[in-house]
Amino acid sequence: MDATTTNSFASFTELLKTRRSAMKFIPNVKISKQELEDIFSLVKFAPSAFNLQHAHYAVVTDPALKEKLYEAAYRQYKVLTSSAVIIVLGDMEAYHDIGPMNEGMLNLGIIDKFEFDKTVREVNELYESRGDVFKREEAIRNASLSAMQFMLIAKDKGWDTCPMIGYDPEEVCQVLGVSEQYVPVMMITLGKEDTSKQRPRGYRKPNGEFVTYYGE
C-alpha cells in the first residue's frame, strides 16, 4: 500500500495534541525516499549548540535489516510493521565541524576572520576542557531536540511515530555499522497508526507540578 494521504492541522496546538506514540502500525505501508527527504528538509531547522548540528539519522526501510532491529528492540512488534525505523544518533565529535559550519558566514562577510578564529578556538576549548561526558551529553541533548522536531514534522505530513528506548544500543550499532563517534540517542518507528489499539492519553502533571516560577 502506498500512503498518499497527508494530515492537515488547523493549528500548531492541534498538531501537538494529536501526536501520540503509536502503539501499533498498519502493516505494509511504504514511505518513499522523497517523503523522507521532505521531512528531513525541515528537520534541519532544529536548533543546536553553536549550530553544530550533532544529530545524524540512520533510516532503515530494508526488510532484512528491520528484522534485525526488531530482534535488537526485544521484539517490539511495531518495529516490524513500521514503514521505517529511524535510529537517531548524536555526534560526539561534532565540535570539530565548527570551522566548516562558519565558513559560509566568513565568506559572505557576515563575520570577520577575527570573529571566525575566536569562535573556532572557543568552541574547541569548551568541548575539549569539559571532556567526554560533556561531548556525550551534548550529542544526546542536541539530537533529542532534533528528534522531537522530526516527530512533529512527520505528524504534520500524515505519519505517526513512536520514540523508543527499548532496544540494545550495542546490537543496533553493530547491525548498522555505526562508528564509535556516534551515541545512539533513540529509535523512532514511523508508519500509519492502527488507532484501534490506541489508549487514552496518559496522565499529564498539571503545570504546578512541573513548573517553578522565580519572579512575578
Q: Name the residues that contact ligand FMN, by CB under 6 A.
A: 20-21, 76, 162-166, 186, 201-202
| Residue whose C-beta lies closest to ligand FMN | 166
Give the residue with the Cβ less far from ligand FMN, 102 or 189.
Answer: 189
What does residue 91 show for φ and ψ, rounded to 5 degrees? Answer: -85, 115
Distance CA 35, CA 83 (A): 12
Angle of the 63-72 helix axis to the 169-176 helix axis, nearest 10: 160
Please report which helix (H) or strand (E) contains residue 56, including its range. Answer: strand 55-60
Per residue, the 3-state secondary structure of 88-146, as one string, reads EEEECCHHHHHHHHHHHHHHCCCCCHHHHHHHHHHHHHHHHHHHHHHHHHHHHHHHHHH
Quick check: 52 and 96 in contact, CB under 8 A? no
Quick check: 46 and 144 in contact, CB under 8 A? no
Distance CA 25, CA 59 (A): 17
SS3 156: helix
Quick check: 82 and 190 in contact, CB under 8 A? yes
